[in-house]
Structure 1
Amino acid sequence: MDSLTQVVLGSSVAALVVPERHRRVALVAGGILGTLPDLDVFWFGLAGSDVVTQVTWHRGPSHSLPVLAVAGWLLWLWLKRRSALVGESPRRWLWAIWLALLTHPLLDAFTVYGTQLLWPLQMPPVMWSSIFIIDPAYTLPLLFGVILAWWLSPGGAGAGAGPGAVRRSRSAHRWLVIGLSLSSLYLAWSMAAKCTVDRIAAQSLATMGLQDAPRFSTPLPFNTLLWRVIVMAPDGYWIGDRSLIADRGRMRFIFRPSDTRALAQLAATPQLRRLLWFTHGFVGVQARQRGDGARRLILSDLRMGLEPDYFFRYDIAGQDAEGRWLAAPEITRIPAPGNRLSGLAWVWRRLLGREAQQ
């Protein structure tokens, strides 16, 4: 998820478990800890690495539940000796640290990018893909809860003093609970919506003889009411959209060809093998001709973006004079399209049933 969401989630869970007089400190500390795993680009030097390393190692060791559990415990041991607050209520602060750290990768796992929850085990990244990476409906309840808790907690401008202070402090706690409860209910709704779409897709694919084909579903940007289902085939992939507001009956799927034969010839290269592991094989491959006449093989990560302008696209091979594909010395990323407003406008129209499927 985006950084703001991780900050307010970390703030909320940390502030809920510490004593009320520690709440404002926990709001700050939880926010810092909540965004800490995403700094792996600095910790592991990913910023200066090749694109495959950058993409596939992000949400890796820094998002591993075992790694973060141990790191949180070590941080707690260090703080217990140096912080009066932690020393005053050590168990509650241990839970605050753990919750702020561990909820980050767990929330990321609900997106489609992929999160290596059990690194160093070499299992494919977890991608429950029930929520888009940015979704205001999830974030805003947490944000409002954190703001009101800060305002009403002891030391806040709205906290006041005297007999009403206890009541306002309880209100701060209640707003944190409300914010976290609403966001959690929305996350539960996203899973229910995904199950609904998957069931409808399975029924439609069965009539096409594709009931056993690898597939995944994911919400389109900023909502959980419009979904996309990608179904892999030996010579390409099928795309189906489902608006939970406007669509009725069976899902309609559109076929897109993919040069799977060329991909199979190149799949033994280490970089490409790593990329296919990370994407679970949900990729499309097309030949493109550059302005200089050279033909290149372009791989698209089908999990993120709209056809044909996917967010992650890679130049993986070139064609020699005899028409053979030769793996690129190093896979490079093709910049994503600059203007996405038209794509977002299409999402809105498609959600309301005013636009045909792409």
Structure 2
Amino acid sequence: MDSITQAVLGAALQGTLLGRIQGRRALVYGAALATLPDLDVIIRYADPVSQMTYHRGFSHSVFVLTALAALLAWLVNRAWPDKGYTLSRLFLTFWLVLVTHPVLDAFTVYGTQLLWPLHVTPQSWAAVFIIDPVYTVPLLVAVAYAAVRGTHARALRFMAVALVLSTTYLGLGLASRTLAEHRFQAALDAKGVTVSEVRAVPMAFNSLVWRVLAKAPDGVYYEGVSSLLDRQSPEMLRLNRNLSLAQVLANDPLHQRLRWFTDDWLRYDQVGDRLVVTDLRMGTPGNYTFRFDMARKGEQGRWQTQQPAVHTVSGPRDLFDGQALRLIWRRIVFQQPPLPLAAWTARIATPGQGQVE
């Protein structure tokens, strides 16, 4: 999630648990501690694939953060023995403030390595968009109230209620995702389409309208949109992942790492003389957040792998495109006219690849 959300979540947690002892300072301490896992962004890697796939790694591990919480609790208890702290309460507070950061990140689609150093696919529960005001605003209001009025009993209750509401919202997001996936699967079944995997991801700033992806065994995938308020089947496109192009990168370790990190939700396109690899999980149709140039075709027509670079030539790069956002928000309620999925996807597709279903 965004840094503001992580900060107010940490402030609310530490304020609720230690506000009676630390006063308003608990809000500041909690906000600072909660942002600590994201300091891994200061580490610079040689290429954008490494930058993407090593973020939310060791600094987001529940094992690392549990050890850090234990160390901090011991240090604070030793340095200030007469403040009224107990070691167990300090540990619980620091542990919750630290560990809820990567757990909340795991509720987004990006991918969080909660179990680092175990080499398992990063957790990507995709219950909320990376910025969601419905989750953040109650926490922000509660923390602001405590900051202005002080950490008295009413403020502590206010923050506790905000924490319950925000946690409930995450649960509703998971339920909404499951419903969107079931609806999409039912629509595919009605068409007689067999797929191996279906996953839904929330679209911009809400958990009501979902972009849904489905893999077919032959390298085809389906991309569509489903709203919780829909009365008709979701609209969808039949597209090609172009897996034959992936053979160029068969021995590339960075490509293998990208496949692992994204759970192989990748698409391959030849754009000019470059091989572009797209992470299909994040963005909107035709406007994906992560695209990488990973090979180049030489003068003799042979592909050569290269150090990955961010692909910026084709397709829009602005997530906050005003016209697209207005259409997406309208789509929450109105299914007709449908979103222009074919036109959006054509911005990166080879002509003739996209087929409306």
Residue number in structure 2 paired with 1:162: none
| 1:146-161 pair list within 5 angstroms | 146-153=143-150
Task: Give the secondary structure class of the aligned counterpart of 2:310.
Answer: strand
Q: Which letter does structure 2 place at the counterpart of 1:206? A: D
Task: Give the secondary structure class of the aligned counterpart of 1:254.
Answer: strand
Task: Give the secondary structure class of the aligned counterpart of 2:114.
Answer: coil
Q: Decide whether aligned partners of structure 1 residues 51 and 244 sit closer, same or farther in structure 2, where only a CA change above 3 A counts.
A: same
Report the alpha carbon displacement of residue 237 of structure 1 after superposing the two structures with TM. 1.8
CA distance in 2, matches of 1:207, 1:323: 43
Deviation sequence 1:60-86 (CA, Å, 0-9, x none): 000000110001111222222223576
Report the alpha carbon displacement of residue 48 of structure 1 after superposing the two structures with TM. 4.3
Q: Which of 126, 129, 132 is matched with 1:132 structurally?
A: 129
Deviation sequence 1:213-233 (CA, Å, 0-9, x none): 222111101001100111123
Q: Does 1:63 align with 2:60?
A: yes
CA distance in 1, matches of 2:19, 2:275: 58
* Structure 1 unaligned blocks of 5 or more: 155-168, 290-294
Q: Does 1:232 align with 2:215?
A: yes
Residue number in structure 2 paired with 1:306: 284
Q: Does the CA-based 8 Å contact 1:258-1:285 persist in structure 2?
A: yes
Q: Which letter does structure 1 place at the counterpart of 2:333? A: L
Q: Does 1:337 align with 2:317?
A: yes
Aligned residues: 334
Q: Does the CA-based 8 Å contact 2:221-2:238 persist in structure 1?
A: yes
Report the alpha carbon displacement of residue 207 of structure 1 after superposing the two structures with TM. 2.9
Q: Which letter does structure 2 place at the counterpart of 1:244? A: L
Q: Does the CA-based 8 Å contact 1:202-1:211 persist in structure 2?
A: no
Q: Does the CA-based 8 Å contact 1:20-1:153 persist in structure 2?
A: no
Q: Which letter does structure 1 place at the counterpart of 2:199? A: F
Residue number in structure 1 paired with 2:168: 185
Q: Which of 181, 189, 206 is matched with 1:206 structurally?
A: 189
State the superposition RMSD in angstroms: 1.9
Deviation sequence 1:260-312 (CA, Å, 0-9, x none): 101133132101111111111111111112xxxxx111111111111212111
Residue number in structure 1 paired with 2:333: 352
Report the alpha carbon displacement of residue 150 of structure 1 after superposing the two structures with TM. 2.0
Task: Give the secondary structure class of the aligned counterpart of 2:170.
Answer: helix
Q: Decide whether aligned partners of structure 1 residues 274 and 131 sit closer, same or farther in structure 2, where only a CA change above 3 A counts.
A: same
Residue number in structure 2 paired with 1:175: 158
Length-normalised TM-score, structure 1: 0.88
Q: Does the CA-based 8 Å contact 1:65-1:117 persist in structure 2?
A: yes
Q: Decide whether aligned partners of structure 1 residues 30 and 197 sit closer, same or farther in structure 2, where only a CA change above 3 A counts.
A: same
Q: Does the CA-based 8 Å contact 1:65-1:102 persist in structure 2?
A: yes
Q: Does the CA-based 8 Å contact 2:294-2:308 persist in structure 1?
A: yes
Q: Does the CA-based 8 Å contact 2:196-2:214 persist in structure 1?
A: yes
CA distance in 2, matches of 1:346, 1:83: 56
Task: Give the secondary structure class of the aligned counterpart of 1:101.
Answer: helix
Q: Decide whether aligned partners of structure 1 residues 267 and 183 sit closer, same or farther in structure 2, where only a CA change above 3 A counts.
A: same
Q: Does 1:197 align with 2:194?
A: no
Q: Does the CA-based 8 Å contact 1:10-1:33 persist in structure 2?
A: yes
Residue number in structure 1 paired with 2:350: none
Q: Decide whether aligned partners of structure 1 residues 230 and 85 sit closer, same or farther in structure 2, where only a CA change above 3 A counts.
A: farther
Task: Give the secondary structure class of the aligned counterpart of 2:269.
Answer: strand
Q: Decide whether aligned partners of structure 1 residues 318 and 209 sit closer, same or farther in structure 2, where only a CA change above 3 A counts.
A: farther
Report the alpha carbon displacement of residue 19 of structure 1 after superposing the two structures with TM. 5.5
Length-normalised TM-score, structure 2: 0.88
| Identity within the alignment, % | 37
Q: Does the CA-based 8 Å contact 2:210-2:226 persist in structure 1?
A: yes
CA distance in 1, matches of 2:82, 2:60: 27
